[in-house]
Structures are given as C-alpha cells and as structure tokens.
Structure 1
Amino acid sequence: MLYLEDLKVGDHFSSREYEMTVEEIKQFANAYDPQEFHTDEVKAQQHPIFQGLAASGWHTAAVTMRLWTECFPVAYGLIGSESSLRWPRPTRPGDKIRVEVEISAITPSKSKTDRGIVTYVTQALNQHNDVLYMSTTKIVVFSKDFKPN
C-alpha cells in the first residue's frame, strides 16, 4: 500500500491490459447507456460519428477505474474529490486498454496533517497507443501517521 510519504510528483504507474469484447460492450450499454451506437452493430455502422460499435465512455471509465485500483494501490483506497475527463476516441470491440497514471501535484492538508490531496493525470490507451480516455483527478491520500477511528 502507498501512503502520502511514498509518493512524489512525476511518479508513474502502469496497468495490465484489459480487452473490451462486443458482448461486454453491449451488456454494459444495455444496463447503463442504452444508445444504438453502443448496443446495435448494424445501426452503429450508420452513425455519422462512430460508424461502428463503440463502448460507452462510462464503460471505458469503469474499466479505467478497475485498472487504476490494480496499479495504484493507495492505502484506504482511491478516495476521489474531483475529476475532469475527456474521451478523445471511441473504445472499440477488441481494444486492449491499459492505463498510464502520472502524479502531477501533491498538496498536504493545512488543517489535517495526516493526509493530503494528490493530483494525477490518467490516460487509457489501446493497443495502438491511441488515447481513449484522459482525466485529471484529485484524491485524498493518507500519511503513515493516519489513525483510523
């Protein structure tokens, strides 16, 4: 587990790959984002932007979250406080997603000395190094001095 003292600006973390399947894309979309370009391969081909089946951006974000938790093991979990995100390209069936995380800022708390805010930039890339998802996220990270109640 990583604590505030273990981290520095510029630290980099990389995940394993995760393959997106047609079945999973449709299953996620039917449950959470039921738009035709996520659920119907024929209708997706006719879409003016996607021109083929594309995973929901929220599906890509959920997979990114899974990969974050595996490659960035922060003590007490990834407790988000803020995030901004973009989807520059659609995630397609067969894409093998991997996550690259780099710490861009660390701000110790002024009022609670046992924690701080860590800002990091994430890119989810496919097997061609195309960026599918980008975010800047702030999380609460505890120091080794933190004493849970």
Structure 2
Amino acid sequence: MTVFFEDVSVGDTDEYGSYEVTREEILRFAEQYDPQWFHVDPERSDEESPYGGLIASGWHTASMTMRLLVDGTFGDAASIGAKGVDELRWWQPVRPGDTLRIENEVLETTPERPERGLIRARTETYNQDDELVFSMVSNVMYLRRED
C-alpha cells in the first residue's frame, strides 16, 4: 500500500533497523568520499585518534540512516524527494561492529500544492547501546491523493 501525504499525521513515530556497520564498509566509503586519516587508516586511528580507533565518516552515517529510512518508510511512500535537511548533527562516532536503528517522528505536515505536501520529520539514529549517534530534521515532499 502506498503511503500518501494524507496518510501521515503529526506525531506519527516509527522505529526501523537494524544495520550492522562493518570495518570494510567504513574504509570503502571513506576512501571514496571522506579520506581523512581517522576514517581510512585503522593502524594510525588505533594509535593516534582522539576517537579511540577507526570511525565512520559522518556522511557515511547519514547515508546508512538514509538506507534505513528507505527500507523502513520511503520504499512504500509516495515520496518524491526532499527540499533539504535541517539540524544535522553527529553526536557520537559510529564504529565497526555497531548496529544502527532509527526513530522517525513527524513534526509537521504542510499542504504545498494540489499535487504534493511537505512532511517535516526528525530522524534519530542510535547504536546498539541506545546511544544517539546522529540526528536530522528532513523536509520531504509527498504526493497527495487524487480526489
């Protein structure tokens, strides 16, 4: 069943996950998109990093969060993209072996045009210890039902 703008209400909250983070994935992503030493050099990270070892790029964490959103909600939604993201925050490093889950809460729904509306939602990503590692507020466009 496709979820349209009218099917979503302020306060709707869902939880999706889990996503296991691997060392190989952290290295692969960072080598291509964010090759800072604490993302791509495990030995140096273990010895010198203020984070106590290898960590995922924040952009990788955002990408894994997006994957969980698509698998959990956007895959069945009449979502047609986003206008942007507000309040993007990285709270804790994500490490190899972490298992991520997300909580998504609808903050606001605004009809924009006859064919679409805007849904503002807060997404929080947690690790296996229930530590908040990432959060954002997204502004997602959804198609409206045809009358």
Report the TM-score when normalising by structure 2. Answer: 0.91
Contact 1:122/1:135 (CA < 8 Å) preserved in 2? Answer: yes
Residue 58 of structure 2 corresponds to residue 50 of structure 1: no
Report the TM-score when normalising by structure 1. Answer: 0.90
Residue 71 of structure 2 corresponds to residue 79 of structure 1: no
Q: Aligned-pair distance for 1:48? A: 5.0
Q: Which 4+ stretches in 1 moved above 2 angstroms?
A: 45-49, 73-78
Contact 1:69/1:78 (CA < 8 Å) preserved in 2? Answer: no
Distance of 1:60 and 1:30 partners within structure 2 = 15
Relative to total residues, which structure has the larger strand share, 1 or 2?
A: 2
Q: Percent identity?
A: 36
Residue 18 of structure 2 corresponds to residue 35 of structure 1: no
Contact 1:120/1:136 (CA < 8 Å) preserved in 2? Answer: yes
Q: Which amino acid in the other structure matches residue 52 of structure 1?
A: G
Unaligned runs of 5+ in 2: none
Unaligned runs of 5+ in 1: none
1:1-149 equivalences under 5 Å are 1-73=2-74, 75-77=77-79, 79-84=81-86, 85-109=88-112, 112-145=113-146
Q: Which amino acid in the other structure matches residue 120 of structure 1?
A: A
Q: Aligned-pair distance for 1:15? A: 1.1
Report the aligned-residue RMSD. Answer: 1.5
Q: Which moved more, 1:78-87 or 1:121-130?
A: 78-87
